[in-house]
Structure 1
Amino acid sequence: MTEKLGPDKRHSFFHGGQTEQKVFEWDQTLEEVDIYITLPTGVPSKLFFCNIRSTHVQVGIKGNSTLYLDKRDKGQTWPSPILGQGQLDPYTVDLEQKRLMLQRFQEEGSMLK
């Protein structure tokens, strides 16, 4: 079973780098990327909107605070779930690659038993 990061270890993207304006948190496993969106204060969850297409994802105000993306290439490390936004620094990308590699070895080891 592939483990996800706990809420305190997820990667965060802040609007304009301002820590009080968190846009989303995210983590990844070998097979998927999870995006956790916290709606602004006073916005009811029924207004959250999400539209997933093969080439893009639209997220806005209109149901569910979590978004899951399946990876086309299992095991590939994503530096960010959104092209050009919230890129991880090279050191963190290296840590993510090592964490995912460990998950892959554990997953493959359990299949051999």
Structure 2
Amino acid sequence: MAHFDERSGIVPCKTKWGSWWQTIEEVFIEVDPGVGTELSGKEIKCTIKPKSIALSIQGNVVFEGELFEHIHADEAIWTLEDKRYVRICLSKAHDTAAHCWPSLLVGQYQVDPMTFDEMQKKLTLQRFQFEVC
């Protein structure tokens, strides 16, 4: 049986806090604070700017830094699902397959070369599918 990531076509980059992945137009971040953790929206602080992001859960910094490329901060959203998962969706300012991010933040959460190659292939295929439709 195929894993969900394979069926949905995403190529995730695993991190200590969860994972992130991208499409031509967006970057998705999924944070899993750990088994048994139940959160409320009040315990989450997410600051999203055109070139930076910061996420704290229960007063602990999960990540913060300069995004690899600019985003449309006014289109970004974050959600709390099942009182556990924090999901963030960022809209890329440059939405072409040529803008495949090799890392989420500058110098942090870099994709290994094999995964980056898979990400690039996925974005190229996605761009081709958009052009055909």
**Normalised by the shorter chain, which TM-score bucket?**
0.7 to 0.9
Taking a change above 3 Å as real, the CA distance of residues 9 and 102 of structure 1, as seen in their structure-2 partners, is: closer
Work out the CA distance in 1 between the residues paired with 2:114 and 2:89.
25
1:30 aligned onto 2:48 = no
Q: How is 1:67-86 mapped onto 2 (pairs within 5 angstroms)?
A: 67-75=88-96, 76-86=99-109
C-alpha contact 1:12 1:24 (8 A) present in aligned 2: yes
* Greater fraction of residues in strand: 2
C-alpha contact 1:28 1:34 (8 A) present in aligned 2: yes
TM-score for the superposition, normalised by structure 2: 0.64
TM-score for the superposition, normalised by structure 1: 0.74
- CA RMSD in angstroms comes to 2.2
Unaligned runs of 5+ in 2: 59-78, 81-85
Shift in Å at residue 11 of structure 1? 2.0
The count of corresponding residues between Structure 1 and Structure 2 is 98
Taking a change above 3 Å as real, the CA distance of residues 109 and 28 of structure 1, as seen in their structure-2 partners, is: same
Q: Which residue of 1 aligns with 2:45?
A: 49
Unaligned runs of 5+ in 1: 15-22
